[in-house]
Chains A and B, each alone.
Chain A
């Protein structure tokens, strides 16, 4: 059985590398996208994605637009999304929750807590 994949949507290569290192060492597979548009494309191309970690402030399509986009997608795309951002605004957190997000992580993240959150949302890597 193939391992579960986590999609990381972030315009920062460094953050993608940090998250990737944390999750691959725990047994997850990683798919990367550098903005919301690439994230939408990646979700359509990779049915094995079990969860998305998504930045907020990105060029072309930001994290809220990404949430709105996948929620409105005809294909449904019922993949849980957790936001990973420097922003801790309660207003935006509420906005993301209304748009279907399953959680919110304020950068910089602690690797053990990030991994615990991914396990809780996506389950064991398989």
Chain B
């Protein structure tokens, strides 16, 4: 079905964006192939960002042990729970931000929500949505960063076969332009 193809391709683009971000943060992420992991023991953090346009809406959620977010934190390791939940928000924001930037080259424009996060013991993902969200998960240093992409795609939406809109392409991450 075209909708399934769109979903799979959008999930792949988001997966690449998340992998790029994790790599830039000094990790060596390995895709876990979408196999559901057992719920983590101890303290975990979930962070999510929503996005939408007229034909596409959804959200991306990252869940992992607090220790993993501390491992990926860009500043010295004196981080508090507040620092970690804030950082989880920024991670999901930068991951979905890259996704939005990549989709511009396909002529797709998204608006993002302000990210949110929560910290709890034995936190795990669960969804009542059907079909269930697409897992985008990574193994990092013996820990798992679980991601869930939830998408609702309008019947008229078709993702172009390849990025073609060079004029509309976004500035790359790290770019600086002074006017």
**Interfacial residues, chain A to chain B (CB-CB below 8 A):** 11-15, 17-18, 21, 57-59, 82, 85-91, 93, 97, 101-110, 113-114, 117, 120-121
Contacts and interface: CB of A to CB of B under 8 A. Distances in A.
B171 A88 contact: yes
Interface residues of B, number: 35
A15 B104 contact: no
A89 B83 contact: no
A93 B171 contact: yes
Given A14-B90, A59-B114, A88-B101, A82 B178 contact: yes
B114 A106 contact: no
A125 B149 CA distance: 44
Nearest to B175: A106
Interface of B: 21, 24, 73-75, 82-83, 86-87, 89-90, 93-94, 96-98, 100-101, 104, 109, 112, 114, 167-179
B98 A86 contact: yes
Contacts of B96: 86
B178 A117 contact: yes
A14 B24 contact: no
